[in-house]
A and B are shown apart, each in its own frame.
Chain A
């Protein structure tokens, strides 16, 4: 266990660095304000990254395949969301579906 003080300082560095990344994205985007096609491309880029975040967290534990229960629960939630079911219900079904499959013995 490293010194708590060092952990705190590094945590503060993480906070400042993260804010800097967020702010520079906003500032760099502002420079392209007069280019609507580039703007559209950036929004599409964010959708692609979000979809990748969703897929990697649904299917992997960061490295290896996460098993069938979690992606099944997420897919079930996706179907309900597509049919217009409210978000809180969708999220509860995702958790309950995954938990249920695990209780039945699915990995």
Chain B
């Protein structure tokens, strides 16, 4: 048993996935603290963490509900944030498999697991990377949320620079894809559009608007053909 664990830890794929779980746990601390600060019980953030498992939408939901917005309106706003899982689902559908594991892999679909899975070239490796990263986040996120709820406001997120961890995870995972030159211009366009849209688009919709750069890819393919 110990040997199995030891050899698993030596696998860079597993180590990468575990560090992702650790990263979301750090972000989860902010989420747990926010929930308790809003007058909601300590167990709520970890429970939603397990059941919803989509960080940004949970923080929005809890923030709105604690602020006095109708919980049903908060639910609709939070669902809007999760619309990006639609293109994610399309992109990773080959990694989902069938039966029980399909349900599990569908549930653990998130920014980290999708980016980690898509970063692998070999399909079997991609499925393994996606699954391990997803499970690692499924554990790390609620544990972080619980810790945050218990610690309350002892930890100052901005003083520790924890707000930089999440974008850094995604950037590190995206770099292999950016080595393909065909994606560079469309990615730049998506970044410009979504950042500009963040000022006026409803919360969570701005990243999805990055999809307007897709025609640039088609244009390039048409020109190369």
Contacts and interface: CB of A to CB of B under 8 A. Distances in A.
B34 interface: no
Contact of A51 (B44, B89, B187): B187
Interface residues of B, number: 92
16 contacts: A10-B71, A11-B61, A21-B82, A24-B89, A29-B90, A29-B94, A44-B183, A44-B217, A46-B91, A47-B174, A51-B210, A73-B168, A78-B171, A91-B23, A97-B161, A98-B163
Contacts of B190: 48-49, 51-52, 55
Contacts of B214: 41, 44-45, 48
The listed residue with most A CB atoms (<10 A of its CB), out of B40, B54, B102, is B54
Interface stretch (B3-11, B109-117, B138-146): B109-117
A55 to B, nearest CB: 4
A107 to B, nearest CB: 10
Contact of B217 (A27, A41, A51, A87): A41
Interface of B: 15-16, 19-20, 22-23, 26, 39-41, 44, 47-48, 51-54, 57-58, 61, 65-66, 68, 70-72, 74-75, 78-79, 82-94, 96, 102, 106-107, 109, 111, 114-115, 118, 158-175, 177, 183, 186-187, 190-191, 193-195, 198-199, 203, 206-211, 213-214, 217-218
